[in-house]
Each structure stands twice: as C-alpha cells, then as structure tokens.
Structure 1
C-alpha cells in the first residue's frame, strides 16, 4: 500500500492554548507525526483548505513553510517508492528526517505518546504523559534540544522533582528512564551525537531504590474470608480480591476480562493483557464458589464473569481502560473498609493479592514454578520478587547466633 503525507493541526494544545502544526506520514493506515515547531490558535486553521487563515498575522510565512516542508516529504516518499523500499510510517519518517537534526526533546516525546496511544498501551500512556508534564514544568518551555540535556540539567531536574514536587525516588528514576529512552531514540535518528549521552557509570546513573513488598499471611486471609458483615459492594470486592489471590495474584486487567467461555475442562484458559502470554490454571474450589455467585447474571458463554466491563465499548480501548481504572479505584477504597472489619493493620489493595500469594509461597515452591504462576518473562524477575518474602534462612541464622 502506498504512503502519503499531509499537513495537519494536532488537537493537543500547549500551556498557552496554542496547537502544533505537523506533517502526518501514513503507511498501511498507521500514522506518525513530524512536528514543525510552530503553534497557532485553533480558529486560525483552515481544515478544508489545509492552510493557516489570514487571521493569523504570520499566515503567509507559515503557509510558505508548510508548502516547502510538505514538498520535501513528498519528494522523499517518491524516492523511497522508486527504490522499492517498503517501510513502516515510523521508518519512513526516520529516513526523511535522519539528516534534519532539528527534532526537539518534546517533539520526540509527543511521538512516543502518540505511538503508545496508537498501540492502545493506555496505562503506560497515562504514566508517561504525567512524567513528560513534570519535565515541561521544570523547563518552563517546550523548546528543549537534546544537546541541552546534560548531566547538569538532569541533576537540577532531579533536585526540582524531589524538593518542589515531593516525588519519590522511584518516580524520579522512572522519569530518567523515559528521558534515556527518548535520548537513545534521538541518537538512532542522528538528532544528537552519542558523545553527548548523559547516562552511564561515570555520569548520571539510574538506580531504583529497594522497595518493600508486604503481603497478608494465612491468618489474615482467613479473617477476610470469614467476614459476614459486608455490604453488597464489599462482598463483590472481596470476591474479586480472593479470585485474584487464588489465581496466584492475577492482575485486575485480566480479572475483569475473564469470560465464562474461558473456563473449560476444569481449568481457566486466558491470555494476559500485559504481554499476551497464554496461561492455563486449575480452577481452585474456592474460585468455583465465587463463580457460583455470578451465574445468575450470565447472559451467554461470551459474557464477562464480573460486571465492570459489561457495558464497555470493547472497540474503544480508552473506554475499556477508563472503566478498568475506575473499578480498580473503587475496589481499593472498599478494601480499606474490609481491612478494618477484618482488623488488619496492613494496607490492602488489589495488587496486595499478588504480594500475599508470594508471601505465603515463601521458599516452599520452586522458582521455576513460581515464574510460571506469576507469568514472569525472566526467572531473575521472579527471584528478585520472591526475595521480598523469603525470611526463614535469615531468621534461622539470626537465631543460631543470639539464642545462647
């Protein structure tokens, strides 16, 4: 399928309420955008004729620039086509702009966010969009070249994030990871020289702090299971939480997507939303009792087990994401009242179901089996995760010294 380019006004305003002009490059119905570094009022854009209106004082120069840039891109597209080079929209863009060296940090950030949105990675999109906004606030402008992002810039940014915004060390490291990702992309596109790379052993190091993972113990889970004074919404929340725990800490996004058709031959068969891995697990007796409570609402085998996504537009990833996000927030709020009724002092969230499984598993299950149950891609991830819950050897070592 042939590729094409078009001048567009992106409907994402900056802090001043102005909208960016860009060239949209499309191939096989997938698009990427090259921002031109100019912003105008929404009312100044002629959508029909694809040009800046006379109401903008600089319309002549802007329209001349748009024509020139579009012509350059179209010439490059014709050259690629004549050379029979098949490439994606992003690859075409890299070829066209590889020698331009004009893209700014925030232009590549917008490109990154657009790609996340196009691939429907909405959870990552929401997080990275927030990280970008912190960098914009620090820089006080969207004009930032990669050459300006040196060690001094990053150290000042880290201090600003800690003192002015009170971000945790983990959040600050995540922002640096995003900057590093975009810097590497800029190097590949020859926007900046590798010699200016500000990360490394003797430069800015990205090191995440150790985190404490706290899970419930068997006695605490039994207290939750035995509660008989729950409201209907608390009862539903408990069911979802216990469903997660009994399936080795199944994630909320997978729980809410569970359909009746996923259960057959005494097993749950599902594909993980996070990494598309297929998994098959035996249905525990406790889960069968939970499922019995929802059978009266079953409309067909393709119906969702739990109600949160039943009214979602499944063709609209944003609608599904928003309903899942809202449901998770409600679950976590309900778990606060459930923990009080169960007289548990630990913080309980949906994700704590996963930690609780790990806590009870301890070192009694082989790491390779835990890797399968956790659906981790790398055994090292499982070992690092489970290290939070293995204490027996350290406790025995301590006792061997002090018990005299």
Structure 2
C-alpha cells in the first residue's frame, strides 16, 4: 500500500500564543506519522477544508512554499522506494528524509576535513583545504551555507572573482578540484543530495592549461649526476634527485620518511603520504648505493632529512619543508650552470622518470601505478607531449 502525504494544522497541541504547529502527516498501512515543519499558525489563518493558509495569513507565500517543498520531498522519496521495490513504513520514510536534514554547513565540513587530514599527518593536503577555505571566505564573507546553495551560478561567480584577482586557470583549477572533492564528501556523508551536484554541468577540466615542460632528457640526468661539488648539501641534492629518478619518481616528502623497514626483499615498499596508495618497486643497484652512502646507525631514517629529534607531525613537516627549500636551491644552481632548459627541482626527477618511461614505450597505466597516482588522468599531466623533432619525423611518413 502506497503512503499518502499531506499537511495539517495540529490542533491537538496549542502553543502559548494560541497557534498550532504545522505538521507533515504520513499515512501508511493504517499508521500515521507526524513531523513538524518548524512553523506554527493561528487557526483563524488556516483553511481546514483545503489544508492551506488563508489569503490573509501572515507570511502566506513563504509558508505555502515551505509546504510545497516538503510535500514534494516526501513524495519523491515515496516514488524512489516504489521504483526500487523497497518495503517501508511511515517511520522509515521520515527517517530517510531526516538524514538530509542533519546537514553540516560548508564551514563545518571544511573544519572537519582539515582536522582529519592533520590527524592523519597529511599536513600538505590539509594546507590545500585551508588555502581554499581562506579564499572562499574572502569571496563569500562566510560559509555558514549548505552545499545545496553551491550551484553552477555560484561557481561561475567564484571563478570570475578569482580571475579578477589575477589567478591563472591552473591555480583556479586547483581550488575547484579541491572544492569538488569536498562536495563529493558531502554527498557521501549525506549532507546534500546527489541531484544538487553542480560539477556535472560546471566542468573543472576547462580550467586546465598546458603546463610548462617539467622534465628533462636522460642525457641531462647524466650531466646532473656527473656534476662535481664539494658542498655537502649540493651532493645531497644531486643524490636525492637521482634516487627519485631511479625509484619510481618518489617525491621528496615520501623520501624523507623512508626507514629500513621500507626495504623488503630488494624492493622499496612504502605508502604514498598524499594518496595512501601502496607502492612496491625494485631498488636499482645505484639507488641502493645512495641509501648505503647516507644511512646512519643512530638515525632510523634512510636520509639525513629527519631524525629522532623531530617528534611531532608539525616538527617533521617544518623540517621537511626547510630541507626541501635548501635542496631545490642547490638544484636550481646546478641547472643554471648546466644551461638546462627548465628550473631544476626535485619534482623534475618525478616528471622525468614518467616521461622517459613513456618515450621508451611503457604503458601509461603501468607508469601511473608506479607513481601512485589516483588515476591515469593525473599521470597524463606528467607526460610531456612529443617534441617537435619527433612530430616532424613522423610527418615525413605522410609523403
């Protein structure tokens, strides 16, 4: 038996001001369930025959809109149950609707996610959320809004505001991708219905611009490792760059946290701190030589970046960022002396690893797996388009 939904003025309860609460009434299997709409009306303003506010009712239009919205909500859920051939009671119907009524605001979910990421030690990812939060607060003044209010028009306004601040498409894209992840989280936690998802229409992909080349050739890698220097940090910079290149493009943060436990049966086994994906790759002989060179008995970490002195997540994060800045400064100087076509950083090793494998004919899915990417789409960003000389050579086959 299908349920019926209507709105009644609940005369069994009278408030101190003489008004009665307005209630949704669900009837199913000869049982009734009442749910307050959160408003009350004096009986003189309610048409009991037509079950609607009279013409002279204060706030008539707002109350009628509320009634229409709520009855539609319950009717749609009844239809959903029917299409799914699910048995339900009046109580279950109300509970299903109420899942979406205990919603957090956008601000509350931001705070929750930032705290969660910090507790998991994913401080860099937490800072990405924090940057987006600060940006949105400047744009919208406050975020005491529900996710259903973030629609396509709202997103377009935010994009226009970011562009007025001089941000490039790629920088805007980072903010929108982070916001999209948060919106998906809100749907997952039933804070908003999937039908309100605005990113089906608003395409974040349009915000991607082709990035500046961030990889070098194998010959350039050989020139870097052959670079001579007596400076301790310069040698460390070169060795870490080469270790990353030889070890699946492992990024600097993950290198920093490596210990002896990450070497198992001549393989490097670790979980990416960013994506939480488990990586298992063979250790190249030259990569292992670099590990042996820097491993110290009194330090559990493989490289002299972290030590037992750094006890808290904040201390470790600060130390990693400090050393990374020094390493990248050293690499940049090397790149300038060698006249490399791009600024040399630790990340260039990761991009170069991916690009060299791709040009060697390795499948993108395998490269993606070794990099620990969440999808092949992310990997594509790492891979350079073919050089003009390769295209020129290929075009000769047309004649």
TM exceeding 0.5:
yes
Partner of 1:163: 164
Partner of 2:233: 233
Out of 365, 374, 378, the position equivalent to 2:371 is 374
- Tell me the SS of whatever aligns to 2:180: helix
- Tell me the SS of whatever aligns to 1:279: strand
CA 1:237 to 1:155, structure 2 compared with 1: closer, same or farther past 3 Å?
A: same
- Tell me the SS of whatever aligns to 2:280: strand
Partner of 1:118: 119
Out of 321, 328, 347, the position equivalent to 1:351 is 347
Out of 393, 397, 400, the position equivalent to 2:397 is 400
Once the 2 structures are TM-superposed, how far is the Cα of residue 155 of structure 1 from its aligned partner?
1.3
Out of 298, 301, 311, the position equivalent to 1:304 is 301
CA distance, structure 2, for counterparts of residue 104 and residue 271 of structure 1: 33
Structure 1 regions of 5+ residues with no counterpart? 1-93
Length, aligned pairs only: 300
CA distance, structure 2, for counterparts of residue 263 and residue 237 of structure 1: 22
Once the 2 structures are TM-superposed, how far is the Cα of residue 187 of structure 1 from its aligned partner?
4.8
Partner of 1:205: 203
CA distance, structure 1, for counterparts of residue 355 and residue 192 of structure 2: 47
In the alignment, is the contact (CA less than 8 A) between 1:180 and 1:199 conserved in 2? yes
Q: Any residues of structure 2 matched to 1:212-227 within 5 Å, and which?
A: 212=211, 213-227=213-227
CA distance, structure 2, for counterparts of residue 247 and residue 389 of structure 1: 23
Once the 2 structures are TM-superposed, how far is the Cα of residue 350 of structure 1 from its aligned partner?
0.7
Q: Any residues of structure 2 matched to 1:57-72 within 5 Å, and which?
A: none
CA 1:114 to 1:354, structure 2 compared with 1: closer, same or farther past 3 Å?
A: same
Structure 2 regions of 5+ residues with no counterpart? 1-94
Residue deviations 1:132-170, cap 9 Å, x none? 110000112343343543333221211111112x22212
CA 1:395 to 1:360, structure 2 compared with 1: closer, same or farther past 3 Å?
A: farther
CA distance, structure 2, for counterparts of residue 273 and residue 380 of structure 1: 19
CA distance, structure 2, for counterparts of residue 363 and residue 337 of structure 1: 28
CA distance, structure 2, for counterparts of residue 333 and residue 397 of structure 1: 39
Once the 2 structures are TM-superposed, how far is the Cα of residue 174 of structure 1 from its aligned partner?
2.8
CA 1:150 to 1:292, structure 2 compared with 1: closer, same or farther past 3 Å?
A: closer
Partner of 2:256: 256
RMSD: 3.2
Residue deviations 1:172-223, cap 9 Å, x none? 223223333444444566655555443323xx22214143343111222222
